[in-house]
A = this chain, B = another copy of it.
Amino acid sequence: MADKIMQIKVAIVDDDEGIRSAISALVRRASGLKLTGEFSDAESALKELPKLMPDLVLMDINLPGMKGYECVRQLKGAQPTMQFLMLTVYEDSDSLFNSLRAGASGYLLKRTASARLLEAIRDVHEGGSPMSPQLARRVVQFFSKPSLESASLAKLTPAEREFLNQLANGYPYKEIADRMHISIDTVRSYVRTVYEKLHVHSRTEAVVKFLRG
């Protein structure tokens, strides 16, 4: 592949004239990047981007009208290969998680240094997901928070934990017994001890506690 001479086609969606021109100048000057479009609102971006087909779109979140991540959701649905790098002043969890769910590949704060931004664009193009450390922390906490809640989960023995995992897969007792090479009555025993330790009285409650932590 002639990757080295391929230029990454970049588009920008941001309603702030100043920021847009600053970034477009930055991208224009950078080697290996090619600016192919500038938009000040989600609606026009939604119409034009599928024609321009940039490799990567720098998307602001707080646009007038449609939110940036909603725009990403729709574009991503139609053009799954198009990459999106969110660029925003907001570091609230909702904007972040909505963007990730919409299919954004990275999420940077606008105060990110220019050099870091260019690096991030290349990261995304190479399959990475650059993220400001502050935002990454929120994502990480999303996973680790449960561990505090789950003092009860920690009390489970390895076998019980494995059993719970099978339960969460939806298998009936019989099949869990086969998979774990134990009798169905042993499975029933696990049901008892696990339910008691988790303070639940049904499979659903146990699974929910397990999945949420």
A62 proximal to B (CB < 8 A): no
Contact present for B100 and A143 (CB under 8 Å): yes
Report the minimal beta-carbon distance from A186 to chain B, rounded to whole angstroms.
20
Given known contacts A170-B202, A204-B168, A208-B170, is B139 in contact with A128 (CB within 8 Å)? no
Among A14-22, A24-32, A45-53, A102-110, the stretch in contact with B? A102-110
Given known contacts A146-B101, A147-B101, A147-B103, is B204 in contact with A170 (CB within 8 Å)? yes
A203 and B202 CA atoms in complex are apart in Å by: 11
A65 proximal to B (CB < 8 A): no
Among A4-12, A35-43, A129-137, A177-185, the stretch in contact with B? A129-137
Q: Which residues of B contact A123 (CB under 8 A)?
A: 133
Interface of chain A residues 129 through 162 with chain B (CB within 8 A): 129-134, 136-137, 139-140, 143-144, 146-148, 154
Given known contacts A147-B76, A203-B204, A208-B170, is B140 in contact with A133 (CB within 8 Å)? no
18 A-B residue pairs with CB within 8 Å: A77-B147, A97-B143, A100-B140, A101-B144, A101-B146, A102-B144, A102-B147, A106-B133, A127-B134, A127-B137, A128-B137, A130-B133, A131-B131, A131-B136, A169-B208, A170-B204, A170-B205, A172-B202
